[in-house]
Amino acid sequence: MMKPTFKFNAVGIISFAVLCALFYWLCPAIGQPVLRYTVYGVFLVVAFSACFVVVKFK
């Protein structure tokens, strides 16, 4: 059985910051503020999960 756990470490924090910076730099800004912040929020959640969620098998 898989159990997701959050693991905070230096590599996860650095990779999260790099992913956010690359996304902000590479993606063009959307004109509508509400849509722009929605897209940024979804990306932040996905990047956070990818950097910090560790799946352990039991």
Global pTM reads 0.60
pLDDT in tens, the chain (58 residues): 777 777 777 777 888 888 888 888 877 777 888 888 888 888 888 887 777 777 777 6
27: Cβ contacts below 8 Å, ≥ 6 apart: 39
H helices present in the chain, as ranges = 10-26, 33-52
Rounded CA Rg of the chain? 14
The answer to whether residues 12 and 51 touch, using CB atoms and an 8 Å cutoff, is: yes
Cα distance between residue 58 and residue 41, in whole Å? 32
> Is the four-CA dihedral 21, 27, 29, 31 of positive or negative sign?
negative
